[in-house]
Structure 1
Amino acid sequence: MKKLSGILILTILLGLSSCSSVGNLNPLSLLTGNNWVLNSMLGKALDPAKFAGGLPFLNFQEGGKLAGFAGCNNFNGNFNLEGTSLKLDPGAMTRKACPGDGEKDFTSALSQVANFKVNKNKLTLLDGAAKELMSFIPQAKP
């Protein structure tokens, strides 16, 4: 019985340590390697008609570089990541005239991002009060 208890305790400890290693992933590795396509804004489903050129996306790159598409214009900027704190700077953006408010709403939300979380292939950008600003899903790979 003592041997069985010892094995059970060891199994539980190994299970807990393997779970904690998932929590210790490098936050940068959670962001990079995908084009993150906009899925919702302010907790509401998207109206694709607001984005004449297609759905916005973000691409986090090594070295704090950020590239993306805002629904009409492309941008290249930077991001600053410290733990789960995240600041986005879209930087230089092309200047095509765009119908509707989708791009303006998207870039406004980008400026409010303070942190993020990633769950089951979903990136959620939050303001400082844990309010969801936008969510993204990885772009399907061909």
Structure 2
Amino acid sequence: MKKLTNALFLLVFLSFSSCNSINNLNPLNLLTGNNWVLSSILGGGLDASKFTSGIPFLNFMDEGKLAGFAGCNNFNGSFQLDGTSLNLDPGAMTKKACEGGGEDQFISLLNQAKNVKVAKNKLTLLDGAKELMSFVPQP
């Protein structure tokens, strides 16, 4: 009887452990809690000279809230995630005049994003199979 009880306890423990591992793989869990810094545009390198006020970043928060920096202006909006389908709305944005042109491209690509691929160390925004931008967690 003791062996059966121990086996049952082990089975229950493993069931809960595996559920927790599955939850950690949820894209939403990987998105939130990181400040994602832009690392590439359209599959190429990042031309920092286009972002004279700083490199853009995204911050996905609880309840579908999105905040970030577009290279010159800050924004606060929302996001919706359904599996790997993503809808981003930058929402309200400050209106400072910007040099470099990178911010316009960043916002344009942000609006084109329809899908997301996320891992612990990389976030990729996609339009179907086309890579728009990738991000890394801020150290």
Shorter-normalised TM range: 0.7 to 0.9
Counterpart residue number, 1:116: 116
* Identity of matched residues, %: 72
Judge conservation of contact 2:73–2:95 (CA < 8 Å) in 1. Answer: yes
Counterpart mapping for 1:21-40 below 5 A:
21-22=21-22, 25-40=25-40
Cα distance in 2 for residues equivalent to 1:22 and 1:126: 24
5+ unaligned residues in a row in structure 1: which ranges? 1-13
The question of 1:42 aligning with 2:42 is answered yes
Q: Match of 1:68, SS?
A: strand
Counterpart residue number, 1:132: 131
CA displacement at 1:130 relative to structure 2 = 1.2
TM-score of the aligned structures, taking structure 1 as reference length = 0.80
TM-score of the aligned structures, taking structure 2 as reference length = 0.82
Counterpart mapping for 1:43-122 below 5 A:
43-122=43-122
Superposed CA RMSD: 1.8
Cα distance in 1 for residues equivalent to 2:126 and 2:95: 27
Cα distance in 1 for residues equivalent to 2:50 and 2:115: 25
5+ unaligned residues in a row in structure 2: which ranges? 1-13
What is the total number of aligned residue pairs between the two structures?
122
